[in-house]
Chain A
């Protein structure tokens, strides 16, 4: 099935197979669709054997960074006598990204199963699913599914009669994009401001409550049971880009496009065909102009660059951008890039946690300059200032939020400089006082 549109024949629905199917939400429905087989099997395996399979599958983190999942799990030292934790990052807040919401809405048990397998594999008896506070429906669906799973003895003490304990709890956020950063997420879970932490120490050494912790994205964890059921080779073979990128990936598509929604394709799919065939191309009478293809933090590209992309981790990098979270934002020829980029900068300014100077002050400053340009009061020097400011804001802070503000803006100016210069040339008045609103 598909949601909100029907599944396209060229999609490879693994995670999205049951989107739109209310029966898949229930425990019985999920079991009838092959659910919890992987967990039952996993609980009788050695944790390291599970890690090895995930390693062999080539699964990489689907939250944005693309770090190999099996490798991440292998950092957790089983039997070190410490409490271990698994955090599922369901703080999906990156503009353009809305795939985890659908996974949780339609297939909550897929995530529970993934969390349970993941927790067991890293030696954790407790997993927390940190869901952004706005996601009322996904939270309710997850809570209900967890209650069902708990009542059925699938999770909790002696999970599935295995003698192993796996508790899973939902933790509701309260409105902060930065809590999707893994160390900020842990702080938030601990009842603190969602400030990212300095690394090292890395979470696998000192994470949640100071204990070894692994943080995985919803989509990553939901893929794990499929890998256990079908084998690492199956997952690798699914990709057109094997061995570098494996499996299928959910791409969220939004903006000026005929059929916005989530699409699941194998790694290495042609982005051009994806955009025009699966997503239905531009709106009637319009043309695609620019894309931010991996959630709003990645560099802006032109449609020409996009059409050359092979949809895997390397393919996006080759065209000067990143796969990121797979949130594809499309702007057509009716959109003003300065206005859109000013809005993106404003998002980051609003979401900065306020710790690092460059981010706290820089994101707000960049927003003010861009908004002034959009208001017709920009200067050519403003563009230079933005470039230099972005330099100050990149690679110098605790987390990458300030880098994320600069990346789409700087690349956007480079690629659509004409639109900025047109606004600057058309300054409403040269006598307007500097700094006037």
Chain B
């Protein structure tokens, strides 16, 4: 439930991807197509595989472009606009490229009263990201605020790409960043 980047990421973040022709994910004979078909078989309606399919695209391409929406739509029998409606509903799908390390700091009430604001500031400072949603000049980081990560007892939780780091305080931020590959 992230406050997704509100503006397209800076060029460093990989916006050049726009000029590269889209490479389909679900090509004939690919492992991803096999995986998708396997998932489709779990449901009576193949459209139910839409969220999983979008996850696969994001894992492969880093974000979900309009070409990707079309590809997924073609696979599951829906239009690109329909897919767009779904992609834009769920905040975890990136609508443009993001930094290599996508850092989401929970700032909802329980974390806010535990000092999440200072954690956000520390990440912005130590990553070189100028503001929330913008990617750092080296393309490594994008920092955003996120709504409740569901780990309120471990304030402040931070999600970095897929994984949680719990009980983050501003002091721990440099060490956390140093540990990212």
Which A positions have Cβ atoms within 8 angstroms of B? 4, 83, 92-98, 100-101, 126, 132-137, 167, 169, 171-177, 188-194, 209, 252-256, 260-262, 292, 296, 327, 329, 331-332, 335, 339-340, 343-344, 347, 350-351, 353
Contact = CB atoms under 8 A, between A and B. Distances in A.
Nearest to B2: A175
Contact of A174 (B92, B113, B150, B159): B92
B168 interface: no
B1 interface: yes
B63 interface: no
A49 to B, nearest CB: 29
23 contacts: A95-B108, A96-B152, A101-B151, A134-B1, A134-B164, A167-B42, A169-B42, A171-B52, A172-B55, A173-B90, A174-B90, A176-B89, A176-B90, A177-B147, A190-B45, A191-B78, A193-B85, A255-B114, A260-B153, A262-B153, A335-B113, A347-B147, A347-B148
Contacts of A169: 42
Nearest to B159: A134
Nearest to B104: A134
B152 A194 contact: no
A296 B152 CA distance: 12
A297 to B, nearest CB: 12
Contacts of B47: 190-192
Interface string B37-56: 00000111101111110110
Interface in B76-131: 76, 78, 85-86, 89-93, 107-110, 112-114
B153 A261 contact: yes
Interface in B123-165: 146-155, 159, 162-164
Contacts of B42: 126, 167, 169
Contacts of B12: none
B163 to A, nearest CB: 6
Contacts of B44: 83, 209
Nearest to B148: A95
Interface residues of B, number: 45
A132 B48 CA distance: 16
A177 B1 CA distance: 7
Nearest to B153: A260
Closest A-B pairs by Cβ, 8 of them: A191-B50, A174-B90, A175-B92, A254-B152, A175-B91, A191-B47, A260-B153, A254-B110
Which residue, of B2, B54, B55, B152, has the highest number of chain A Cβ atoms within 10 A? B152
Contacts of A254: 110, 114, 152-153, 155
Contact of A329 (B54, B147, B150, B152): B152
Contacts of B2: 175
A360 B55 CA distance: 27
Contacts of B48: 171, 189-191, 209
Contact of B148 (A93, A126, A171): A93
B70 interface: no
Contacts of B146: 134
A191 B85 contact: no
Given A173-B51, A344-B109, A350 B150 contact: no
A188 B50 CA distance: 9
B3 interface: yes
Contacts of A135: 150
Given A93-B148, A173-B51, A327-B152, A296 B164 contact: no
Contact of A175 (B1, B52, B153): B1
Given A98-B152, A351-B1, A351-B147, A256 B92 contact: no
B109 A296 contact: yes
A177 B54 CA distance: 18
Nearest to A168: B42
B109 A347 contact: yes
B162 to A, nearest CB: 4
Contact of A171 (B3, B51, B78, B92): B51
B37 to A, nearest CB: 15
Contacts of A167: 42
Given A177-B1, A347-B108, A98 B114 contact: no
A11 to B, nearest CB: 15
A377 B151 CA distance: 33
A128 B161 CA distance: 25
A209 B49 CA distance: 13
Interface in B1-53: 1-3, 42-45, 47-52
B4 to A, nearest CB: 9
A175 to B, nearest CB: 3
Nearest to A327: B152
A340 B109 contact: yes
A188 B51 contact: yes
A298 to B, nearest CB: 13
Contact of A194 (B90, B107, B108, B155): B90
